Amino acid sequence: MAEVCGKLGRTAVKVLKDSPGFIVNRLNAADTLMFCLILDKGMATPAEVDAYFKSQGLPMGPYELTDYVGIDIAADQLNYFAGVLSPEYGKGTTFGRMAKDGQLGKKTGKGFYDWSTGKAAVPKATPTEKVTTMDLFALEINEAVKLIEEGVAKPEDVEKGMVLGMNRPFGPISVARDLTNAEVKSKLEELATRFDCKIFVPAQAIQEGKLRDAIEGRLSPQGVAPQAAKAEVKAVPSAPKAGGPIFLERLQGGVARVVLNRPKYNTINGEVLDGLDRIITEIWSDSEIRVVVVTGEGSIFSSGADLGQFWSNQVAFMEYNRKGERIMRRLTELPKLTIAVMKGYALGGALELAASCDIRLATEDVQIGFPEVTRGIVPGWSGTQRIPRLIGLTQAAAMVLTSEWVRGTKAVEIGLATKLIPAGDPDEYALKYASELARSQAPVAVMLAKRLLNKGAEVPSDVGLEMEAEAQGILFGTEDIKEGVAAFLAKRKPEFKGK
């Protein structure tokens, strides 16, 4: 069935057994119950709650959305779950009363708001302090853990279902990774007490401090971490397989491709960073790979970092940026010649990724820039440090501080790109270029030259010169120098062995 869905251009979400609401509706029901209880208890008005969620960047608040979908749908949802899952879902009464009175929202012209003009007339209101996004996150994490405990679905399918089913940038599993068990447990206990509702009581795994086991798939269907998980450590693939958000392709002639694969803009999130880190580790000592091409699937390199992810606080966001910086640094130190293919867009974090490569090829029409300051942040994966070293402080300041984008021709002029890619397939050109370099450049010399270029710029010039002399001494004893000289004298192409 999953294969059929794939052929139809759809993504399958696996449910392991029948269960009320399956995944998305089950998680959404807890949210619906809380929003009903807020009105039952007179904690805040619909407009105040909607004002809060709009202040968090949502286009529509929960009550306006319920009006749009139909209050009768929300009432039926709670009635259904009260009958098949727990009577506690029947504690919310406001939605049922409004449905009985014919106040269904947009379909009847009146619900929480007046829809007589075709749009909701939402009165201005001060955002409430009685509800937070953390309340919703905790409830959804709790229901997700229950599904995992019950053996209904695996963590990755719960996440996938919520992301695709609710059109969100992240799901409850991603959120849970950035929270502690104690934080989630405390919030759920507070909600259960505040609303006098057993649905909000922490799931068994959370009560036992096993949230991490649940979201990482180490729970048995009964909610207990299996003994084997403690004694056995399963091998984790060193790099994602083709088709993942980032993958490695080993090609002939000493060339490999690292491909960003998150259509349609190939944005970079935590999963992509982790994948890049694993790939770097895998190919670091692989003598068969001499040149690495970093590109994006399709016509776009990448539009930059995915800012739709969840970070629980400032420290978490800071550490995420530190992580990105360290991975970019590792890429610069990779003992292979690296080539970035800048096409379509190379913005923000994508530009920092390209700048961490040795050579940057650019199409004439590629759009390159740092939009961060227009979003209230700064380049956070080494851009403020590496770009000035590449193009000088004046040009770097213009790009970062004005967020002005440049095209490929300009990028070559200022030294941000190495050379323009001629008309045609940019990836095909890059691979051909990489193949030529893999044949003509001595691998050990490339490795040492990279270290001199990157490290030499960080030390006094006399130290850099001493490093250069030592590198020459090392190379003098290699087989490659003998082959290079012999090939030059014989007027033939060298056949380097990397020794």
Q: Phi and psi (nearest 5°) for 56?
A: -90, 5
DSSP secondary structure letter of residue 91: G
How far is it, in rounded angstroms, from Cα 332 to Cα 178? 28
Helix (H, G, I), strand (E, B) or coil at 169: coil
Residue recorded with tokens 């009581």: 201
> Annotated active-site positions, please?
352, 372
H or E, element range at 85: none
How far is it, in rounded angstroms, from Cα 146 to Cα 205? 8
**Burial letters for 483-493: b for 16+ Cβ neighbours within 10 Å, e otherwise?**
bbeeeeeeeee
Q: How many CB atoms lie within 10 A of CB 11?
A: 12
Are 215 and 206 in contact, with CB atoms under 8 Å apart? no
How far is it, in rounded angstroms, from Cα 25 to Cα 260? 32
257: nearest Cα among 357, 119, 157, 349: 357
401: nearest Cα among 374, 380, 367: 374
Helix (H, G, I), strand (E, B) or coil at 354: helix
Are 291 and 442 in contact, with CB atoms under 8 Å apart? no
Q: Phi and psi (nearest 5°) for 109?
A: 90, -10
Are 296 and 343 in contact, with CB atoms under 8 Å apart? yes
Q: CA–CA distance from 341 to each of 129, 349, 354, 435 (Å)?
A: 48, 14, 8, 14
Are 74 and 13 in contact, with CB atoms under 8 Å apart? no
Half-sphere exposure (Cβ direction) of 206: Cα atoms closer than 13 Å:
28
Q: CA–CA distance from 272 to each of 245, 317, 327 (Å)?
A: 6, 16, 11
What angle (nearest 5°) sits at the alpha carbon of residue 96, between those of residues 94 and 97? 65
Question: Which amino acid belongs to residue 12?
Answer: A
Residue 47: partners with Cβ closer than 8 Å, 6 or more residues away: 63, 113, 122, 123, 124, 125
How far is it, in rounded angstroms, from Cα 290 to Cα 442? 9
